[in-house]
A and B are shown apart, each in its own frame.
Chain A
Amino acid sequence: EDKVVQSPLSLVVHEGDTVTLNCSYEVTNFRSLLWYKQEKKAPTFLFMLTSSGIEKKSGRLSSILDKKELFSILNITATQTGDSAVYLCAVRGGSEKLVFGKGTKLTVNP
């Protein structure tokens, strides 16, 4: 059974801090790993990773995948209060269905 485990489940930081969110997975016929940001409603797409060692960046957010060790990290530098959200990690295997982790709830205090 495909599985995604995220850690920590909850994190509280101050503005300006740098955070690292972790995602480990077990999946049959791995195809891709995706990160989403979920505020009050729908998850919004951040990154899709398919190859090890290639960092994806978007502004202050970056992510990298390690297919050998079966994990990914999401980094957020110089955090802002607007970064407060639940960050979801999901993997897609051979079935093309996404399997989600429980998410990391990030709270950025001013």
Chain B
Amino acid sequence: EADIYQTPRYLVIGTGKKITLECSQTMGHDKMYWYQQDPGMELHLIHYSYGVNSTEKGDLSSESTVSRIRTEHFPLTLESARPSHTSQYLCASSAGQGAPNYGYTFGSGTRLTVV
């Protein structure tokens, strides 16, 4: 069963619209991440957070923004969507280095299409 939830699963919107992709986890993980994945391509880190009120940009430049007001919630926002933002967005969380499960847990993803 999923302990990390992303909504919506699919989203088709028009250019210029503001959107927020939701990500919530129930595992109490401090570390959360957003990855962007185009079809057939690798996952690229666009944002990450190591705790409440901590957010950083990832290795791939993105026009999106994130916030981390609560441990369990890490939403991603696009103020003005463009066709170039069409992609799959994956949210993940991880336990700390000393935890038994050191690996990431991924949400089911949001497939965004901007027309």
Complex CA–CA separation, A96 to B97 (angstroms)? 8
* Pairwise interchain contact B42-A103, C-beta atoms closer than 8 A: yes
0/1 interface trace, chain B 73-115, chain A, CB 8 Å (1 if under): 0000000000000000010001001000011111111000000
Chain A residues in 8 Å Cβ range of B35: 100
Other-chain contact of B102, A4, A36, A48, A90 (Cβ < 8 Å): A48
Are the C-beta atoms of A100 and B43 separated by less than 8 Å? yes
The distance in angstroms between the C-alpha atoms of A44 and B97, with both chains bound, is: 19
> In the assembly, what is the distance between CA of A31 and CA of B42, in Å?
20
A97 contact from B33, B41, B102, B103, Cβ within 8 A? B33
Chain A residues, Cβ within 8 Å of B48: 97
Chain A nearest Cβ from B22, distance in angstroms? 15
Residue tally, chain B, CB below 8 Å to A: 23
The answer for the CA separation of A103 and B106 in the assembled complex, in Å, is 16
Within 8 Å by CB of B105, from A4, A41, A45, A102, lies A45
Q: How large is the interface on A (under 10, 10 to 19, 20 to 34, 35 or more residues)?
A: 20 to 34
Q: Does A54 contact B (CB under 8 A)?
A: no
Known: A34-B103, A90-B43. 9 other contacts (CB 8 A): A4-B42, A31-B97, A34-B104, A42-B108, A42-B109, A43-B106, A98-B33, A101-B42, A102-B42
A-B contacts, 12 listed (Cβ < 8 Å): A32-B102, A42-B107, A43-B106, A44-B106, A88-B42, A96-B97, A98-B33, A98-B45, A100-B42, A102-B40, A103-B42, A105-B40
- A residues touching B (Cβ–Cβ < 8 Å)? 4, 31-32, 34, 36, 41-45, 48, 88, 90, 96-103, 105
